[in-house]
Chains A and B, each alone.
Chain A
Amino acid sequence: MGEAIVVTSGKGGVGKTTSSANIGTALALLGKKVCLVDTDIGLRNLDVVMGLENRIIFDIVDVATGNCRVEQALIKDKRFEHLFLLAAAQTKDKLALSVDSMQMIVRKLKSQFDYIIIDCPAGIEHGFRVAITGADQAIVVTTPEQAAVRDADRVIGLLEAEKLPPAKLIINRIRPHMVKNGDMLDIDDIIGILSIDLLGIVPDDELVIKGANQGEPIVVKPDSKASLAYRNIARRILGDAVPLLSLQEEDGFFKRMRKLIGLR
C-alpha cells in the first residue's frame, strides 16, 4: 500500500507544481514507484513542467466520469521507468472532480504505487477540498514573504481540521543574501509562526525556471543547489536524517557539506 502526499500552499505561485514535479522525480530517482497527480482542473501545469504535455490522451476527469480506466490515463515519464503522471483536464472546471471520485482514484493508485504526489490548486475552495481528500500526508510550500506565510498558516489550520497528521513545511525560493541583509523573512521566523516541522529549504535558483520551461525537473541536473535541496527533501520523506542545506555562498558550501558528511 502506497502513501498519498498532497502538496499545497494556499497562495498561488509559491512553487507547488515545481515542488511536486521535483519531489516526485527525486523519489523516482531513489528507486520508488511514483505517480504524480495534477488536480488543478482547468489550469493544468504539471504536465508542462514534466515535459509530457503532448502525451496526454485521457485525464483525471475522464477517469472520474468513467470514460477510461485509471491505467489508461497514466502517462509514463520519458526519463524514468517508475514515474507516472495523471494529468488534469484543461477544458473542464474544478467542479468536474468530486471528493468521492478523487478518493476512489487515490485508493486505486495507492495499490499500485509507493508514492502518490498530489499537486493541489491554489486557494482553499472546492479544488483544495478535493485535492486533500484521500491524502495520508500533506506538504505545505511557502516562500519567505508575509503573504505566503499568512496563507500557509490558514491552510495548515484547515489541514488540522481534516484530521491529517501534522503537515511538513517546505520554504521555497530563499535568497541567502536577502535573508542575511534582513530584507527577507528568516527561516526561524517562519517556523516560529507556523510551528510545524521543516521538511526542507530550497534556494532561489534560475535553473529551476529554465528547467521548468524545458520540461526537465531540476533534480535531474545534479549541479544545482535547488536540485540538491529537492533530493534531500525526497530522502527525508523516505525517513533519512539529512542535514539542512547550508545557504552560505559557494566557497564555504562544499567545505561545510564535506564536514557534515565526515561527521555522520
Chain B
Amino acid sequence: MTKSAKSISSIGSRELVTIKGIRSGLLFVLADDALFADVVEELKQKLTGSHQHLLSGATVNVYIECGMRELSSEEQEILREVFATHENLVLDGFDGPPPMREMGVKAPYVFKGTLRSGQLIEHDGDVIVIGDVNPGAQIIASGDIFVMGHLRGSAHAGAAGDVRAVVAAAYFEPLQVRIAQVVRRSPEAYDRPAEMEFAYLEGEQMAVEKMAVFTYHRQRRNRSRAVI
C-alpha cells in the first residue's frame, strides 16, 4: 500500500506545494529541496489557477511549513504578497502548524447548572458553563472561559499566563475579570447586563467587545503575532 502510493507520486511531476486541511485552517507545505522561485511559481498557480475554487470563500487561517529551508525576510515578504491577493486567506506564520492548545487538544471542562457562591471550577484548558455563575463563585482556567448564562462571579482566564485567553458570557456582568496577570473589577453598577460580550487583553489593558467580532478578533490577533 505504502509502496504503491510512493511510486505514484514519484511517477507524476513532483509537487512543490502541498495543501493540507488541518483543524485550525490550511497548512501549505513548501518543498525545501527546490528553488524558492519555482515554489513561489507553483504556489501562485495553485492559488489563482487550479485550486482557486477551493481557496475562495470563508476566511481561513493559513500556516506555512517549509521543512529545512530558512526563509529570509525577503522571501517571507514575497510569500506574504502572494497571500495578500486572497483576502480570505489569513497568513498566520512561517513556523508550521499552530501549537497544540490552539488545535483544541486539551478537553474543555463543561459545567451544566448554576455555579453558586463559594463554588469553584479550576481547570487546565477551556471552561464552558451552561448556566449562571453567581456572585461569589469563581472560575479559574488556563484557557478561555465561556458562560452561556449570566456571569456575575469572578473569572480568571489564561491563569497560567496566556495573554491570548478571553472571558465571554451571554450576559456579561462579572464582579471581577482576570486574564493572565491583568485584573479588572466591575463598574460600581451595571445598568443592565451587556449581552454577548467578551473580555480580552490589548497589551496591558483589558478590553470588552461584542461577541459578534470574536472570530475577527481571533484572526487579527493571529496575524499580528505572525508579523512579530
Contacts and interface: CB of A to CB of B under 8 A. Distances in A.
B118 A154 contact: yes
B171 to A, nearest CB: 10
B93 to A, nearest CB: 45
Contacts of B116: 153-154, 156-157, 160
Interface in B62-102: none
Interface in B131-151: 132, 134-136, 150
A154 B114 contact: no
A193 B135 CA distance: 9
Given A153-B116, A157-B119, A195 B136 contact: no
B117 interface: yes
A154 B132 contact: no
Interface in A129-159: 150-151, 153-154, 156-158
Contacts of A153: 116-117, 134-136
Contacts of B136: 150, 153-154
Contacts of B117: 150-151, 153-154, 157
Contacts of A154: 116-118, 136
Interface in A59-109: none
B132 A157 contact: no
Contacts of A192: 150
User: Mostly helix, strand, loop or mixed at chain A's interface?
Assistant: helix
A184 to B, nearest CB: 15
Interface residues of A, number: 11
B147 to A, nearest CB: 14
A166 to B, nearest CB: 11
- Which of B118, B119, B136 has the most CB atoms of chain A within a 10 A radius of its CB? B118
Contacts of B118: 154, 157-158
A157 B117 CA distance: 7
Contact of B114 (A150, A151, A158, A195): A195
A157 B134 CA distance: 11
Nearest to B114: A195
A158 B119 CA distance: 9
Contacts of A193: 132, 134-135, 152
B113 to A, nearest CB: 8
A192 B136 CA distance: 15
B188 to A, nearest CB: 13
- Which of A153, A154, A192, A193 has the most CB atoms of chain B within a 10 A radius of its CB? A153
Nearest to B118: A154
B100 to A, nearest CB: 34
Nearest to B135: A150
B132 A195 contact: yes
7 contacts: A153-B116, A153-B117, A154-B116, A154-B136, A157-B118, A193-B132, A195-B132
Interface of B: 114, 116-119, 132, 134-136, 150, 152
Which 10 pairs, one residue from A and one from B, show the smallest C-beta to C-beta distance? A157-B116, A154-B117, A153-B117, A154-B118, A153-B116, A153-B134, A157-B119, A195-B114, A150-B117, A150-B136
Given A153-B116, A154-B116, 6 more contacts: A153-B135, A154-B118, A156-B116, A157-B116, A193-B135, A195-B114
